[in-house]
């Protein structure tokens, strides 16, 4: 009888472990972009790339703005990506007084391209600080968008999802309309009329992005397959094996 009790307990424990692994797979990831002091990215234009990692995904952030004045409307160029204690910053090529914000101040609009290794849905955004107004635009793409030399209208026309949100408060805000769309390529920045609801802003949105929340996508895993069974698969096999052994012992 004691052995039967041990087998039953082990089977229950294995089943609980299986459910635990399943719940971990759907957990929301909170990305924190704040840091002590100002840190600049690496790469072209004095640092266009910022890199972050979570337990199950990697993220590269690049900065962009429509600062190339050779044509009308202006076309997009790289900017300097940075972050400080309030969050992500965009130093575009034309600004002077408000260059550290992600903003649409004056004639240029700053945006940040978030490139993930795996599919994600974005469910929330944390505004670390804003000055004047705090409207944002967001878009997602099924492949890496070409920004250099294009206009925001051209980029928006190729987006699979796009939306704008007005008057975000400092702190976390739920982005419910983007939570059902999965992508590896997300564009987030100051309000940009090309991405929806034109007419909201008077080009006075100046903000810093302290973080975002993502949920892992349900699409195919782009990582290479492995011959080693996943922990959840091992737990399932263990739970079935232990349950079968317990049933045999009970029937004997």
Model confidence, pTM: 0.76
Helix locations, the chain, DSSP H: 2-25, 152-157, 231-251
Q: Which residue pairs from 226-231 have beta carbons closer than 8 angstroms and sit at least 24 positions apart in sequence? A: 230/21, 231/21
| Distance separating alpha carbons of residues 149 and 130, to the nearest angstrom | 29
CA dihedral 223, 227, 233, 235 (to 10 degrees): -120
Return per-residue pLDDT of the chain as tens, 252 residues. 444 444 444 444 444 444 333 334 457 899 999 998 888 887 666 668 999 999 989 999 999 999 988 667 789 999 999 999 999 999 998 876 667 899 998 778 999 999 999 999 999 999 999 998 999 999 999 999 999 999 999 999 999 999 999 999 999 999 987 888 999 999 999 999 999 887 777 778 999 999 999 999 876 544 333 333 344 444 444 444 544 554 455 455
Residues, the chain: 252
Query: Which residue(s) pair with 188 in the sheet?
Result: 112, 138
Query: Which residue(s) pair with 59 in the sheet?
Result: 52, 116
| Distance separating alpha carbons of residues 39 and 84, to the nearest angstrom | 6
Q: Is the peptide bond between 66 and the residue preceding it cis, with omega within 30 degrees of 0? A: no
């Amino acid at each position: 009888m004691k052995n039967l009790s041990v087998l039953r307990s082990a089977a229950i424990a294995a089943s609980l472990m299986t459910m635990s692994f399943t719940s971990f797979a759907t957990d929301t990831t909170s990305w924190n972009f704040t840091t002590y002091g100002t840190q600049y990215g690496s790469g072209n234009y004095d640092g266009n790339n910022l890199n972050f990692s979570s337990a199950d995904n990697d993220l590269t952030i690049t900065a962009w703005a429509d600062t190339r004045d050779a044509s009308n409307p202006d076309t997009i160029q790289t900017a300097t990506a940075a972050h400080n204690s309030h969050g992500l910053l965009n130093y575009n090529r034309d600004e002077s007084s408000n260059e550290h914000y992600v903003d649409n101040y004056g004639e240029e609009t700053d945006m940040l391209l978030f490139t993930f290794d795996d599919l994600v849905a974005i469910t929330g955004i944390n505004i670390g600080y804003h000055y004047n107004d705090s409207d944002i635009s967001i878009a997602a793409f099924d492949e890496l968008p070409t920004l250099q030399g294009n206009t925001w209208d051209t980029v928006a026309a190729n987006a699979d999802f796009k939306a704008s949100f007005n008057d975000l408060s400092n702190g976390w805000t739920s982005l419910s309309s983007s939570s059902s769309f999965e992508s590896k390529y997300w564009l987030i920045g100051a309000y940009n009329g090309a991405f929806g609801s034109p007419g909201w802003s008077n080009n006075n949105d100046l903000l810093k992005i302290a973080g975002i929340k993502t949920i892992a996508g349900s699409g195919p895993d782009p990582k290479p397959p492995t011959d080693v069974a996943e922990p959840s698969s091992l737990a399932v096999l263990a739970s079935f094996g232990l349950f079968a052994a317990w049933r045999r012992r009970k029937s004997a």
